[in-house]
Amino acid sequence: MSFRKQLKTLRKSTLRALADLRRAALRRGALANGDAYELVTDPGTAWPGYAALPAGADDAAGHSISCVMVSRGLPDIVGGALASFAAQDHARRELVVVVPAPRIEAVRRLAAAHAVDARIIAAPDGATLGELRNLGIARSDGEIVCQWDDDDIYARDRLRLTASALVRSHKAAALLNRVTFWWPARRTIAISKPRHWEGTIAVWRKAIPIYPALARGEDTFVTHGILRYGGVAMLDAPELYVYRVTGRNTWDEPHFERILKACTDIRTGADHDRRIEALSRRVGPHLAQRAPTGAPTDPVHP
């Protein structure tokens, strides 16, 4: 190995070691005390840097956020996402819902019941999920655009903290590094493995690529594009986002089986119930209202 290559290898290993030390120091300090989150900025080719994002951070208070939700308008599914939006503690926000025309009135009534003044748009027949996301973004007004999936449930401070990570990091987008994975029918809740969770994205409007015309997996293309050209901030706060298996998700059951197998801190049965009760204090009562009672309907993973 040439001397230049040896220096390059040494530099990389040193940067890795320094990053590990900074991460360990954070976790021993503010992160361990529960009053801050780990913010990982990924500039692309450079080694990631680590910083603490205080739990009370409100760096994005002056910015408007558009939450774009593509939905089939099923009342028993969409209610959790509407309740989550209503509970958000970021004031400057709007919800844009793209829904099949026959379900517009039902969604409008449900939104009103949650005191949500949503902008509801009819989904063109035959449009793919990617095309519907583009439509929702085009009809939104916010400086920051946040994906707001109707299957999932969100903590009250999801918008505030994710947007704060976006502003503080000076990156094109912010994502969660982990999410809470919830399978109500199995009375199972867990913490996902670390990765770029595309559905958690908050991105500056000027940095949003066009979603491809795909029925699913469309957000992966967008996230990878931003990773390559704009960089992202990764926020490690899995309790902000509850990724819910409803039985009517875009993905099928084997997909969720694979996610669950890679999860950590898996809670089932009574442990699941206690975790839901604790998480409801952070998310809101609408989480517990959607929790199952009694024995699981399917076998659970050990």
Could you report the per-residue pLDDT of 130-180, keeping only the tens digit for each? 999 999 999 999 999 999 999 999 999 999 999 999 999 888 999 999 999
Would you say residue 10 lies in a domain? no
In a domain, 222, yes or no: yes
Which pLDDT belongs to residue 32? 56
97, part of any domain: yes
Looking at residue 46, what is its pLDDT? 44
pLDDT at 279 over 80: yes
Number of separate domains in the chain: 1
The predicted model scores a pTM of 0.83
Residue 255 sits in a domain of what CATH number? Answer: 3.90.550.10
* Lowest-pLDDT choice from 66-75, 238-247, 290-299: 290-299
Query: Is residue 55 one of the residues assigned to a domain?
Result: no
Q: Is residue 247 part of a domain?
A: yes
Domain-located, residue 19: no
42-100 per-position pLDDT tens digit? 544 444 566 788 889 999 999 999 999 999 999 888 999 999 999 999 999 999 999 99
- Residues 92, 65 contacting (CB under 8 angstroms): yes
Instruction: Tell me the pLDDT of the chain averaged across its residues.
Output: 85
31 inside domain: no
CB 86 within 8 A of CB 153: no
- Domain membership flag for residue 48: no
What is the domain range of residue 119? 65-289
